[in-house]
Each structure stands twice: as C-alpha cells, then as structure tokens.
Amino acid sequence: MTTLHVPLSQTPYDIVFTAALAGEAVPGLSAQVGGKDCLLISDSTVAPLYGERAAALLQGAGAARVTTTVFPAGEASKHLGTLAELYAAAVGAGLDRGGVMVALGGGVVGDLAGFCAASYMRGIPYVQLPTTLLAQVDSAVGGKTGLDLPQGKNLVGAFHQPAQVVVDVATLCTLPPRQLACGLAEVVKYGVIMDAELFSWLEARVAPLLALDEAVYREVVYRCCALKARVVVADERELTGQRAILNYGHTFGHALEQLTGYARYTHGEAIAIGMGMAVDLARRLADSPALADLQRRQDALLAALGLPLRAAGLAPAAIQQAMRQDKKYQQGRNRLILPDRIGLVRLVKDTDEALIRAAIEGRCDP
Ligand code: NAD
Ligand code: GLY
C-alpha cells in the first residue's frame, strides 16, 4: 500500500494505491464514507465484475447504507439523460448533503459521477475507484468532471476534486487489450510532455506492459499519478497554461473522436494519432534533430503498444473543422500543445491553419 498526497490548497486529498477490492486496507476511506449514505455509481461491464466487492469495501469502511446504480457501459452513455438518471438514483437512495458518491469504473463513470456529485444539492463529496488504466493514470485525478453534448465532447462540466482516489491496479487484469492500449497512449503522453526518463523506461518495458505485469503497472500508475498531481497543483483550473500540456494530441484526437461518433476509435487511439499530428506540425514549424528523434521514437513506441499512427477514411478538412469546436480554441483562434523534444512541450497560439492542414493530411489515408 502506498499513498500519494495531492496538496491542493483548498481541497487536498490522497491517492491510495492498494489491493482494495481484494480486501487490503484503504487508509482514510472510513473518514470519507463512515456513517454516510453512499451512492455507488458504475457501468454495466464493471458492476458485475467489481460491484459487490466495492460495496463490501464501503460497508467495511463503515458506510451507513450503500445503494448501487448502473448505466450502460461506454462513451455513448456520457450524456444528459444518464445524468438525469443518476440524480434520480441519488434522490431514490435518500442521499442528502451528508451523502457521498463513489465512482467505480473508467473515465466515463468517473466524469459522470464526478459531475453528478459536483451539482447534486450544490455539491457533495465523491470518491474515485478507477478501473481502467486511463482512469488510473489520468481521469480519476485532478477533478475535471463532465459529459458530452451532441455538439461536442465534454462541453458541460465542472472542476470538482475527489475526496479520495483509491487505485487497485489488479482491476486491470480484466481490461480488454484495446482498453489497456488506450490507457498506454496517455502514459506515453506523460513521457513526451514532462518526463524523458519515463519515456525511456517505457521503451525498455514494452513486453511486460503488453503482458500486464502487475509490478510494472504498479510503478507506471504511481509515476503517472505523481506527474498529473504536480500539474494539477501548479494549475488546478487550467488558468496559467501549465495544465493545458496534458492536452498534447487531444485537440486533433477529440476531432477524430467526434467525426467518427465516438465509435471507431477509443480515446487513447484518437490521442495516439493526434500526438503524431502534433509532432509533425511542430517539425513543419521549426524542425530540429530533437523533434526528428521524438517523432521516430514516439511512433515506434505507440506502434509497439498496439496503437494506431494514422487515420483512415476521413477528410482532413473535416478534421480541421471539428478541431475548431474544441474547448482549447478561443474566439476561433487555435491553441495547440506542441513538443520541443521528449520531455518538453509548450502551448502555441495562432498557428498557420495551412500548416495544421498539412500535418493532418500527412497522417490521413483515403
Ligand atoms: P470507459 O470508462 O468507457 O471504459 C472503457 C471500457 O472498459 C468500458 O466498456 C468499461 O465498461 C470497461 N471497463 C472499465 N474497467 C474495466 C475493467 N477493470 N475490466 C473490464 N472492463 C472494464 O473509458 P475510459 O477509457 O476509462 O475513459 C474515457 C473517458 O474518460 C472519456 O469520456 C474521456 O473524455 C474521459 N477523460 C477524462 C479525463 C479527466 O481528466 N476527467 C481525462 C481523460 C479522459
Ligand atoms: N486530462 C486533462 C486534464 O486533466 O487536465
């Protein structure tokens, strides 16, 4: 068991790494749920796998009452209709301002449950129990919550930090390989944006990562959470640009997801292609040996981890148009995270749209 503290000034919390769902102690969980009514929120894939063990964990930590609510798995559920069902479940479970919500699942469950907690009765606490690699290394930490509108992804949301994050990496053993690869795209992202040593460490561990070596995952999840916590503490609400570095590859990737109805690519697959477009664009703006090295090694690592490098069957003009709907664009002006070298990226504004189009075209097949 290990604990990582996220020292936010207003809402500090702990990320506890422990085999919680196998009965290992979770220090501090009683303080969050003890004597309280809990709404355990999960999806239709995760609930049958871990729902009972999670409910038992909460009861063991002294919860007064645990009510479970489940919605259909997948990004297609991340909409206002599901949110309305969650509010109804909370009312039905008798949750008042003394209650607590618990998100058991991937990023979709965490984002929806987090937003439900942020807004229910003007805000109640919630605990994150992430079960995908993506959620464990990224979405469960940092307090970004929200849901999609038909017009775009994550267009409704709030910052609402979790009261605690409980990470049990053993849950990754049931994750389909494609979902594992999805999380690995975010892991590679951390290496590129802020930790060259992590990037090299990953290059040397492709085989154990693909073989789901639990010890390797314990280390990689801890390292990524520590990196994310550092960014979130520096710029909790993405006001200074420091947190924006986490969006490396995301403006391109979100456009790919939106154009394909969130159905063709996982989030990580879209981000992997988007990271390729970002480094290609950086090279078009100002090439250097460090960028050529990054492009070669990023492509090789992503491909070795089973991630795509190119998009197919999409018009580059449509991708560029979809990018303009991304939250990162402001008053129609582009803002992109572009790399300088492995371990260093920066926010670049007002890039020539013709160069953006060329970078997109370079990664698109008919
Ligand atoms: P997801 O929540 O849809 O999970 C992927 C699939 O894996 C689902 O079908 C789920 O039921 C299943 N699953 C989850 N855990 C499992 C397990 N242990 N074993 C077997 N199956 C399991 O997707 P995701 O990739 O976890 O998250 C993507 C979402 O996260 C997107 O909506 C994205 O916008 C959001 N996100 C949010 C943040 C943030 O900071 N809040 C950051 C990154 C991504
Ligand atoms: N995943 C982007 C962020 O948390 O800011």
Q: Can you read off the two tokens belonging to residue 167?
A: 């990470």
Read off the pLDDT band of 262 (50, 70, 90): confident
Tell whether ligand 1 has an atom less than 6 A from the beta carbon of residue 45. Answer: yes
**pLDDT at residue 335 above 80?**
yes
pLDDT greater than 80 at residue 330: no
Q: What is the CB neighbour count within 10 angstroms for residue 5?
A: 11
The beta strands (E) that lie in 44-151 are given as 65-71, 100-105, 126-130, 144-149
Burial of 207 (0-12, 13-18, 19+ CB in 10 A): exposed
Q: Is 153 a residue whose pLDDT tops 90?
A: no
Residue with tokens 């477009």: 277
- Asked whether residue 81 carries a pLDDT value surpassing 80, the answer given is yes
Beta bridge partners of 145: 158
pLDDT for 186-216, tens place per residue? 999 999 999 999 999 999 999 999 999 999 9
pLDDT of residue 325: 77
Question: pLDDT per residue over 118-140, tens digit each?
Answer: 999 999 999 999 999 999 999 99
Ligand 2 interacting residues, C-beta cut-off 6 A: 138, 142, 144, 243, 246
pLDDT at residue number 162: 98
Assess whether the C-beta atom of 224 lies below 6 angstroms from ligand 1.
no
Confidence of residue 151 (pLDDT cuts 50, 70, 90): confident
C-alpha to C-alpha distance for 337 and 348, rounded to whole angstroms: 6
The predicted pLDDT at position 207 comes to 98
Taking residues 275-290, report their average pLDDT. Answer: 98
CA angle 229, 235, 236 (to 5 degrees): 70
Q: Does residue 3 have a pLDDT over 90? A: yes
Q: Tell me whether residue 254 is one of the annotated catalytic residues.
A: yes
pLDDT at residue 282 above 80?
Answer: yes
Task: Give the per-residue pLDDT at 152.
Answer: 76
What is the 348 CA–ligand 2 centroid distance (Å)?
18
Is 327's pLDDT higher than 80? no
